[in-house]
Amino acid sequence: MSVDESQFLATMSGYFKPRHNWRDATGKGVTVAIVDSGIESDHADLAGKVVESVEARVDGNRVIFDPSNAGDSAGHGTACAGIIARIAPDAKFASIKVLGAGGLGDGQVFLAGLEYAIRRQYKVINLSLGTTKPQFFAPLHDLLDRAYQAGCIVVAAANNLPQPSFPSVFSSSLISVIKSEETDPMKFGFRYGQIIELTAPGVNVRTAWVGGGHRNLTGNSFACPHITGIVARFVEGYPNLTPFQVKSALYAIARENQGRENL
């Protein structure tokens, strides 16, 4: 670990004065990949922020990503980008549209979207989607290992339902998030010993929506981008942070947020 990074982590635990204060960071110079339903790039909250926009096309057994001006077919990707933009206002976005291809947003398309983000070496990847299909367990595990080794930080939403979803249960290789009723966007928490380790606001979150408007939304999907936004702030000051370091930093800050009593 370089000096900068050790100082960064120590800062998170509150022992040193920070050289780079993530609380003042804005995500400048960081591009966040959003694997979702697309992003409405001309939404007032997101104007000028979408630097790449591609959408999946299924061609036989292959999934191809073409440049896209289709926007957002459902609103979900725009909502996620809106939350990240509020926390990291200078972050840029790469929209990787995997929902709506062939209608079913097939698991294979979802996997291909993640692989595309890793190949393009986007440092921060937001996955507010998931699958419970057992056949995708192994391929997703492999992809997340590749992301980990490439230093990509993948933040995934937990399934809101009782059964486990992938990839959020692969806790070693990514950051997984479940919703809390907290209203302060910066106040996330850590659930020590749980598979889904982090909590973040995910109830009645007001954010951008298709058609230029805003909605109040509830779901783990909207907790996930809160953490993604925070990670974009970290990466602004420390572009080479590894997923492990990011997780350690999130843990340290969550301890501060929770007043160190709920460990």
Give whole-number Cα distances, 232 to 88, 109, 189, in Å: 7, 25, 17
Q: Are 75 and 45 in contact (CB under 8 A)?
A: no
The length of the chain is 263
DSSP at 139: H
Which residues have CB under 8 Å from 158's CB, separation 6+? Answer: 130, 165, 168, 176, 177, 178, 196, 220, 223
- Least Å from the CB of residue 85 to another protein: 19
Segment near another protein (CB under 8 A); pick from 4-12, 83-91, 116-124, 161-169: 161-169
* 58 touches another protein by CB under 8 A: no
H-only helix segments in 13-160: 76-87, 107-119, 137-149
Residues 84-143 that bind another protein (CB under 8 A): 99-100, 102-105, 128-135
Nearest distance, CB of residue 82 and another protein, angstroms: 14
Closer by beta carbon to another protein, 221 or else 228 = 221
Total residues at interface with another protein (CB under 8 A): 45
CB 256 within 8 A of CB 189: no
* Minimum CB distance to another protein, residue 169 (Å): 13
Tell me if 203 contacts another protein by CB under 8 A. Answer: yes
Tell me the closest approach of the beta carbon of residue 29 to another protein, in angstroms: 30
Integer CA distances (angstroms), 137 to 99, 124, 155, 157, 165, in order: 19, 22, 17, 16, 9
- Quote the tokens at residue 53: 């926009």
Task: Determine which helix (DSSP H) or strand (DSSP E) holds 234, and give its type and residue range.
Answer: helix 220-237
Query: Of residues 28, 146, 187, 215, which one binds another protein by CB under 8 A?
Result: 215
**Options 23-31, 83-91, 154-162, 249-257: segment touching another protein (CB under 8 A):** 154-162
H or E stretch including 236?
Answer: helix 220-237
Which of the residues 224 through 253 are near another protein (CB under 8 A)?
A: none
Q: Which of 50, 85, 96, 157 binds another protein (CB under 8 A)?
A: 157
Name which of 27 and 130 has its Cβ closer to another protein. Answer: 130
d(CA 180, CA 226): 11
What is the C-alpha separation between 209 and 231, in angstroms, rounded? Answer: 23
**Cβ–Cβ < 8 Å for 126, 155:** yes
Among 53, 221, 228, 245, binds another protein (CB under 8 A): 221
Binds another protein (CB under 8 A): choice among 10, 58, 64, 74:
74
Smallest distance from another protein to CB 18, Å: 34
Does the protein bind another protein through residue 217 (CB under 8 A)?
A: yes
Q: For another protein, which is the closer residue by CB, 106 or 115?
A: 106
Binding site for another protein (CB under 8 A): 36-37, 73-76, 99-100, 102-105, 128-135, 157, 159-163, 165, 179, 181, 202-204, 209-221
